[in-house]
Structure 1
Amino acid sequence: MIFFNIRIAPLWAFFCGVIAAKEAWQIRLFLVNKFFIGLARINWISYFEGMEMTPDQCRAARALIKWNQQRLAEAAGIGIATLTLFENGATAARPATVEVLERALRDAGVIFLDEGEGGGAGVRLRKG
């Protein structure tokens, strides 16, 4: 006798194609789109560098490009309170928040340095 776990019934039905009002090609297209959207949301630069921006690097990068907190918050599309809490180390920021901050700073010409590149973690300006 085969035992069937009720918790996996929806999953089993999904993979067997027993989904009402959906064609198989629509399901495949949906899954492929979700996969590529997920890939696009990954911060590949930080992924391959193996580091995440620290609050100290954020403050230093902002000072380097002469931005105040308001300007960085607007460029990253986050609230100024969120940025202040992150820079002060009061709360741990969500990875998505750190990614948008890092992306905004990189777009402004900041390069993030990993530990071991002539000292500790830091920032510098991109040439040109």
Structure 2
Amino acid sequence: MITGSQCRAGRALVEITRAKLASRSAVDEAVIEQFERKLEEPAPETISALKAALEDLGAVFIEENGGGIGVRLKFTESEARRIARLEGEGGLVASDRVP
């Protein structure tokens, strides 16, 4: 499950309004606002619908991992290819320690 803060942050990252998220998730806009403002906790299936809609738009939700919860954007396919190319360049393995 996600929190209201994660929902609001995810919406900001994927640049979607509450109205558009309401349309995509079939959740009433007022329910989304109440959730994001921490005024009401919707049913778990409602939160799942919001999460799924935001994930379809490119948000990735980060569970509690000792460093806190969060949200980020997925890498695009071209970004993933560039990262894979950089990781596969090879070269000499050396110590990272600076004298």
State TM-score, norm by structure 2. Answer: 0.73
- Which residue identity does 1:78 align to in structure 2? V
Structure 1 residue runs without a partner (length 5+)? 1-51
3-state SS of 1:123 partner:
strand
Distance 2:21 2:49 in 1: 10
Runs of 4+ in 1 over 2 A off after TM superposition: none
Larger-gyration structure (1/2): 1
Q: 1:85 aligns with which of 31, 34, 47?
A: 34
2:41 corresponds to 1:127: no
CA-CA distance at 1:120 after TM superposition: 1.1
More helix by share: 1
Distance 1:112 1:92 in 2: 18
Q: CA RMSD in A?
A: 1.1
CA-CA distance at 1:89 after TM superposition: 1.1
CA-CA distance at 1:78 after TM superposition: 1.2
1:11-42 per-position Cα deviation (integer Å, ceiling 9, x unaligned): xxxxxxxxxxxxxxxxxxxxxxxxxxxxxxxx
2:36 corresponds to 1:57: no
2:24 corresponds to 1:107: no
Distance 2:70 2:24 in 1: 21
Distance 1:96 1:114 in 2: 18
Structure 2 residue runs without a partner (length 5+)? 77-99
CA-CA distance at 1:92 after TM superposition: 1.3
3-state SS of 1:103 partner:
helix
Q: How does 1:14-53 map to 2 (within 5 A)?
A: 52-53=1-2
Q: How many residues align?
A: 76
